[in-house]
Structure 1
Amino acid sequence: MFRIETEVDKDRQALLTRRLRDTNTERSPVLRALRGPAEREVPLHVWALDDAGELAGGLTGRTWAGWLHVDLLWVSGALRTAGLGTLLLTRAEELARSERGCGWARLETWDFQAPDFYRGRGYEVVGVVPDYPPGVTEFTLTKRLG
């Protein structure tokens, strides 16, 4: 007999994450070979601050298994044509490649956000999810670094 619960439980989430990672590592020769520092996700953040120290733009992501995963990239509306997004993305890619040994980058973006921006910086669409959320298309893009 099992009891099913639906509450948010951070301790159980951490345990579930560890157990799934261990199971995946056990079953995958590639993941077994990555044991150690390369197996761990490491946050990667790049910030742009204006002269007053206010946030003008930023990129958050993580590196894992030779990949940079860009989670968020945002630039203040007044600076969106000034090249700041390109500077943030380029810096993240450089750090991922030179300091963390990443050979690839990946990200998701919606059709109303920036798929053309990423394509213009060498990213290629490898996945499309229509109506996620309804009326919007999500793109997954990847890029070979260096």
Structure 2
Amino acid sequence: MDIEVLSNPPQSLVDFLENKIDKFNLEHWEVKERHPLAVQLKDAQGNIIAGAAARSFGKWLLLDNLWVDDSLRGKNVGSKVLQKIEEAGKLRSCEMCLLDTLNFQAMPFYRKHGYEVQWVQENYPESGCKYFMTKAL
């Protein structure tokens, strides 16, 4: 048996391994489906200027990303985007939302919107930290 270390693995290998884990999880996990969800805000020219991406499964909404263009920050746009994705999650019967954010990102923003820190990974990736936060919807 020759176990090979690949410093720059092909995307096909990464996808293969992810698909194998997904298949295993679906066979053993109580929730069989994950449904993608997103909201977006476009300007008059059709450019995306804010949005969020999430997945719903079981009673949970997993918020993967929320982004607002620099020109719109501090103008309540992020709050509106967050509210829309939470509402969409509720329509899918989600009762809780889970997200993670880095120390230089948006922890105070999420806290302001009712999210609570459940766990902090210190020294991530070196001297920063990563906050894992939840909120009852």
Give the counterpart of 2:43 among 50, 64, 70: 50
Q: Percent identity?
A: 31
Per-residue deviation, residues 42-81 of structure 1 (Å, max 9, x unmatched): 1111101112211111101111111111111110111111
Instruction: Tell me the matched-pair count.
Output: 131
How far apart are 1:18 and its partner, in Å? 0.5
Correspondent of 1:118 among 95, 110, 120: 110
Q: Which runs of 5+ in 2 are unaligned?
A: none
| TM-fit CA distance, 1:129 | 0.3
Structure 1 position 19, deviation (Å): 1.7
Corresponding residue of 1:13: 18
Bigger helix fraction: 1
Amino acid across the alignment from 1:112: F
Residue in structure 2 matched with residue 59 of structure 1 by the alignment: 52
1:103 counterpart residue number: 95
Structure 1 residue corresponding to 2:128, chosen from 128, 136, 140: 136
Question: What is the distance in 2 between the residues matched to 1:63 and 1:115?
Answer: 22
Q: Any idea what the Cα deviations from partners look like across 1:92-129, whole Å, max 9, x if unmatched?
A: 0001102x110000100011111000000010000100
- In structure 2, how many angstroms separate the alpha carbons of the residues matched to 1:77 and 1:17? 35
Q: Indicate the SS of the match to 1:4.
A: coil
- After TM superposition, the runs of 4+ consecutive aligned structure 1 residues lying more than 4 A away are 5-8
* Aligned residue in 2 for 1:74: 67
Deviation at 1:20, TM superposition (A): 3.3
Q: How far, CA to CA, are the matches of 2:67 and 2:103 in structure 1?
A: 15
Q: CA offsets, 1:13-45, max 9 Å, x none?
A: 3123202331x33xxxxx1xx4xxxx3111111
What are the within-5 Å matches in structure 2 for residues 32-47 of structure 1? 34=31, 39-47=32-40
Q: CA deviation at 1:4?
A: 2.9
Provide structure 1 residue ranges, at least 5 long, that are not aligned to the other structure: 26-30
